[in-house]
Structure 1
Amino acid sequence: MNRKENIIDLYYKYLEEEFNCRTSDELLGKKYIIGQQFGVGNFSRMKLEEGIEISKLKFNKADLYFDNRTYDDNILELGYCYSGCGKILSLPDNKEYIIKEEDIFIYKTINDVDYFKFTYNNCKTISINMNFNTIENVISPIWKDKSIEDWQNNINRIFKEDILIIKKATYQMKKIAEEIDFISTDNIMGLMKLKLKTIEFLCAIFEENSSGEKLNNIKLKEEEIVTKVQDIIKKNIGNVLTIKKIVSDLNISSYKLQEAFKNITGDTVYKYIKKAKIQKAEYLLKNTDMSILEVANEIGYENPSKFSSLFKEYNNITPLKYRKIKYE
């Protein structure tokens, strides 16, 4: 008996035909290379186990279209954008979604959308598809009803307002996604690593999105940590400030510090310190008559050439030229 095609099968069949793709079989699935008339890009589909598969997409530029009607597969798609941008337009509601670098996205296929239009620009993503109809079949009958109820409650909380959730990835999600990207998929060892990291990535997303109240509490704690660190940085702008010193003052782990800072500010602690120093230097150059050497010393740089290099890295001009601008 032939296996019934689901919405994912049909989507890949559409891509293969519509974009005149050349295909090649791989250890875990198939790779597709789009026809030259559509641009430069490729995507791959890899089956990890029954009900769970992963796909990688890398498009320089492409426009796709998909008819979403008549499909009732209970599939969740969870993914991460490494670079570039993807624009999704749903019809007939004419709602637009934008996926950008370091975003995660969560989508459920059971919805009222008729059509989707996709536009990719130098976009690289990874996505995991979970077919809950298939996974449901392996759950023990004793626990099945309770498991399904708990799952459905979590899904309802996640998709309370929309069918597609897009948000910035946490430090942990970004780290796992980057590890997945470097796993070789041409041998059995790579397959095992990929399965482990994929499950870890799924757990990180579900834990982050399953409880709104828990998320709010975590965010409040992270904001409190960041506020305290920003105060420490401000008071020590002229000193060499280390992560070791900060975590010691706050009595927290280095991991928790970096994760909180990345989630709230989008920067690492070191990058934020550099920015804070440059902002202080900009103020001094504009509002005082301090020499370049004095400004460098004020923000903790004894070597003015190192200060100038850092300043030019952020402003594309030297401190001296920056100062001259205010008199022009």
Structure 2
Amino acid sequence: MKTIKITDIDNKSIIEQLNEYIKGDIKQKNGEETLIFNNSIGTGSIRNRKFDWGISLLDYDVNFNDDVKIIFETVKKNAPIEFLFISEGNLTFNNTDDKNYVRLERFQNIIISNNTKSKSIYVFPSKINVKLNIIHVYSKEFLQKTNSDISSLENSLLSVFRGEEEHLPFKHLGNYNLTIADKIKTLNEFEGSGIIKALSIEGQLNLILSMQILEHENYKNSAMVVESLSVSEIKKIHRLVDYIIDNISKPLKVKELSKASGLGPKKLQLGFKLLFSKSVNEYVRSIKLEIAKDLIKNSDKSISEIVFEIGYKSRSYFSKIFYDNYNILPIEYKESLRSSKIKS
């Protein structure tokens, strides 16, 4: 595992310190630093941009060849409050460098802040594309804004913004939220330049911050929010996947799956979109097709038998969706496998 250490006592920027280990190319434009690399360490880009009133954006779009541990240590001033959101992939986090790492998941709302004796330690897994946005908020500077009334915040987060040690280190691993994901996507895809880009990014950051703070408040108040899922609801989705595989010979309609999972249809659809980027029906169809493809390859069953086994009544419908997905008819796929065996 490669270890990268970043500290605020170094006179170099975060990007410059990262590049001492990564050895890529740094591009600077309109107050934004971007590290781009494609070498033995991996591929990707890391961007950092600072704004007024104690806010900065650090985002990653990386794929490392080996596990990479990045350690951020704040020495000169109070550690920032870190608002994290992972759009793709996952990583693990710790603040003491022991073995008790926690997994940070895709689409999960995450807020972290450390005391002076701890660090922010992120481990990026190898061979996985990770898109991570971190909004750093330095509360002392942030609270100098004329409109930064934080009195309505939930007590623990309020204490963190005030720099009090009572709730530090602070860690909120909240609900999974697609609305925040959409705003992050807008932030990352903006292609303007100059003042237009700066104002647009700053506006999006403030909006994302407000949404992440609101999610924290709803989480603490156990409020039900349509566009988010709790950790327990995500676990129900994962259990439902096992149910789908075990009952693949059934039609598996949304109504039945909703009842089996204990989640309403809307929550169910949201969960599958969050976890698999598919609707429930699209996911079920993809699983049925993968099982059918495996049966064609590894069994002596006829196409008709396989169609029945995966819960379809119409062989012609199965052939159509199989072709749409694999660009080959099931009978042609079976013949191609047979021909390759004869040749070998």
TM-score (norm 2): 0.60
> Residues 208 and 215 of structure 1 are in contact (CA less than 8 Å); yes or no, is this contact kept in structure 2?
no
In the TM superposition, residue 271 of structure 1 has moved relative to its aligned partner by: 2.2
The question of 1:177 aligning with 2:177 is answered no
> Residues 254 and 280 of structure 2 are in contact (CA less than 8 Å); yes or no, is this contact kept in structure 1?
no
Change (3 A) 1:269 1:116: closer
Aligned to 2:102: 97
Aligned residue identity for 1:127:
I
> Residues 97 and 121 of structure 2 are in contact (CA less than 8 Å); yes or no, is this contact kept in structure 1?
no
The question of 1:190 aligning with 2:203 is answered no
Change (3 A) 1:216 1:278: farther
Please provide the CA RMSD for this pair: 5.5
In the TM superposition, residue 182 of structure 1 has moved relative to its aligned partner by: 1.4
CA distance in 2 between counterparts of 1:144 and 1:127 reads 21
Aligned to 1:68: 73
- 1:43 is matched with which residue: 46, 49, 63? 46
Aligned to 2:3: none
Aligned residue identity for 1:183:
F
CA distance in 1 between counterparts of 2:89 and 2:331 reads 27
The question of 1:274 aligning with 2:281 is answered no
> Residues 19 and 34 of structure 1 are in contact (CA less than 8 Å); yes or no, is this contact kept in structure 2?
yes
Please list, as runs of the form range in 1=range in 2, the aligned pairs for 1:102-251 lying within 5 A after superposition.
Answer: 102-110=107-115, 112-113=117-118, 116=121, 118-121=123-126, 122-139=129-146, 151-152=157-158, 163-166=170-173, 169-212=176-219, 214-215=221-222, 217-218=224-225
Aligned to 1:80: 85
Please list, as runs of the form range in 1=range in 2, the aligned pairs for 1:269-308 lying within 5 A after superposition.
Answer: 269-274=280-285, 291-292=304-305, 295=308, 298=312, 302-308=316-322
| Deviation larger for 105-114 or 273-282 | 273-282
CA distance in 1 between counterparts of 2:14 and 2:42 reads 19
CA distance in 1 between counterparts of 2:18 and 2:24 reads 8
| Deviation larger for 77-86 or 109-118 | 109-118
Aligned residue identity for 1:134:
E
In the TM superposition, residue 56 of structure 1 has moved relative to its aligned partner by: 2.2
CA distance in 2 between counterparts of 1:305 and 1:198 reads 48
- Unmatched 5+ stretches in structure 2: 1-7, 242-246, 259-263, 336-344
Q: Secondary structure at the match of 2:101?
A: strand
> Residues 76 and 129 of structure 1 are in contact (CA less than 8 Å); yes or no, is this contact kept in structure 2?
yes
In the TM superposition, residue 215 of structure 1 has moved relative to its aligned partner by: 3.8
In the TM superposition, residue 137 of structure 1 has moved relative to its aligned partner by: 0.7
Q: Secondary structure at the match of 2:198?
A: helix
The structure where helix makes up a greater share of residues is 1
CA distance in 1 between counterparts of 2:210 and 2:97 reads 33
Identity %: 12
Number of residue pairs matched by the alignment: 300
- Unmatched 5+ stretches in structure 1: 247-251, 322-328
The question of 1:26 aligning with 2:29 is answered yes
In the TM superposition, residue 20 of structure 1 has moved relative to its aligned partner by: 4.8
CA deviation vs aligned residue, 1:201-238 (integer Å, no higher than 9, x gap): 22332222223354464459x89xx9xxx9xxx9xx76
CA distance in 2 between counterparts of 1:130 and 1:31 reads 20
> Residues 153 and 217 of structure 2 are in contact (CA less than 8 Å); yes or no, is this contact kept in structure 1?
no
> Residues 154 and 217 of structure 2 are in contact (CA less than 8 Å); yes or no, is this contact kept in structure 1?
no
Aligned to 1:53: 56
In the TM superposition, residue 136 of structure 1 has moved relative to its aligned partner by: 0.5
Q: Secondary structure at the match of 1:95?
A: coil
> Residues 156 and 167 of structure 2 are in contact (CA less than 8 Å); yes or no, is this contact kept in structure 1?
no
CA deviation vs aligned residue, 1:42-90 (integer Å, no higher than 9, x gap): 3111234432221222333273553626354252222223334434454
Q: Secondary structure at the match of 2:201?
A: helix
CA distance in 2 between counterparts of 1:101 and 1:8 reads 33
CA distance in 1 between counterparts of 2:122 and 2:23 reads 18
